[in-house]
Structures are given as C-alpha cells and as structure tokens.
Amino acid sequence: MARMILVVDDERKIVTVLKGYLEQAGFGVVTAGDGQMALTTFRHQRPDLVILDLMLPGIDGLDVCRILRRESTVPIIMLTARAEEADRLIGLELGADDYIVKPFSPREVVARVRAVLRRVEGDVATSNLLRAGDILLDMVAHQASVAGQIVELTPMEFELLAVLARAPGRTFSRTQLLQQIQEHPLEGFERTVDVHIRNIRTKIEPDPKNPRYILTVYGVGYKLVEGIDAT
C-alpha cells in the first residue's frame, strides 16, 4: 500500500506541484489549505507523513505542529518562506523532523520525504530490540521505554537516541549524530541536534536539568551512559 502524505499549504500552486511530484514518486496524497482543515484531514486520513507550511490562515503551522505532536508521532516536515534560525528551532522544538525553506525544488522535497520515512521504518536488519541500561528501544515498532515506562518520541528523537544507545559511553559530535541519521546533513544544522537532545531529555530524564542518561561532553558533543550513577 502506498504511503500517504498530507500536504498543508495555503498556496494552491505549491500544493498542486507537490501533489504531482509525490504521486509520480508513488505516494498517496491528501491536501489541506489551512490549519483547521489540516487537523480534520489528519484525524480522518491518518497519513504517514505531514508536509506543513509555517504560515497558514487561522491556526498557524506552529500551532498545528504542537497539536499534532500531542496526538501523534507522525513525521512532520515544515515549509516556510522565512529562513530565520529562530523559526527553524521553534519548529524543531515542537517536534518537527525536518525543515525546508522556500523556494525549494519539488524533487528535494520528495527526497526528504523518502529519507524521513526510511528513518521511521528503522533498520530491520538489526536486532528488533536495542537495550542500553534502563532504555529499551523496539526498532520495528519504533517504541521507546525507560525503566519500563513508555516514552513518546518523534521519529528524529527516536533515531538520535538509537544512535547513542548503540554505542553507550561513546561521545558523538553533533556532526557525527547528523551523519548517522541523515544521508546528506545540511550545513549549519548542527545546532538542531541540541534542540532534539533537549526534547529527549525532557521526556526520558527524571531531572532534565541534571541528566543521568544523556550527558553533555563540553566542547565535543553528547554520550549516553547506562548506569544511573554514571558521571
């Protein structure tokens, strides 16, 4: 069955072009022209991925992203005509998995959709279960638990945690983490790793301000430790 993509943008030309390219690539496509319609369509269609414009009439893209994240871990790629880093980081803090600035190539969007969906599917060639201390990742179901408690992670958060969990104690730079989860990491996106790590800590750490699982190695990057008393 074809993967279903929800395209949300109030610019009809953009919706038409993306719909055509995505359908040509073998995806099913549903569309929405405003925030409320996006939420209604999502709840009825349950797409596999959402392409979401930042600037929407009524409920804007950031609010739609926030609501979707409360209801689902569906992958979200945000579109915007604004290239300011603050906008990009806000979207990522809310749980977006990727970010594309207008104007863009429709072929690039298709490629990014495929890359995000590949991350969601996980690496089925490896063991289904990945354990690092209290952290257990089901690589097929894309489900995470910490000390037996289920944790809702976005696809990007899950993949970052999986990279760290495959090599407990190893310090990864931001660039290395991006290279592990993206085929073609974008220059300047290293700072987005900090946003995702902060979000992961909020979800898995008893005290995110004093993390015991994901530690910062200052001047280098991050590492995951297995023992609750590790420093």
Handedness of CA 197, 199, 204, 205 (dihedral sign): positive
CA distance 47 to 44: 9
101 and 45 in one domain?
A: yes
145 HSE (CA, 13 A, CB side): 9
Counting the structural domains of the chain, the total is 2
Is the pLDDT at 188 greater than 70, yes or no?
no
Collapsed DSSP state (helix, strand, coil) of residue 77:
strand
pLDDT tens track for 100-139: 888 889 998 999 899 888 877 654 444 577 888 889 888 8
| pLDDT for the residue numbered 20 | 95
180 and 116 in one domain?
A: no
202 and 185 in one domain?
A: yes
Tokens 């097929």 belong to which residue? 140
Residue 216's nearest CA partner among 180, 159, 179, 177 is 177
Find the mean pLDDT for residues 216-222. Answer: 92
Confidence of residue 83 (pLDDT cuts 50, 70, 90): low
Helices (H), the chain: 12-24, 35-45, 61-71, 85-93, 106-121, 155-166, 174-181, 190-204
**Where among 94, 121, 148 does a domain terminate?**
121
**Where among 67, 101, 121 does a domain terminate?**
121
| pLDDT for the residue numbered 102 | 85
pLDDT tens track for 42-76: 999 999 999 999 889 889 998 999 899 888 888 99
pTM (global) more than 0.75? no
Is the pLDDT at 31 greater than 70, yes or no?
yes
**b/e per residue 92-117 (b: at least 16 CB within 10 A):** bbbbbbbbbeeeeebeebbebbbbbb
Does residue 230 form part of some domain?
Answer: no
Residue 95 sits in a domain whose CATH number is 3.40.50.2300
Q: Provide the percentage of residues in the chain whose pLDDT is more than 70.
A: 86
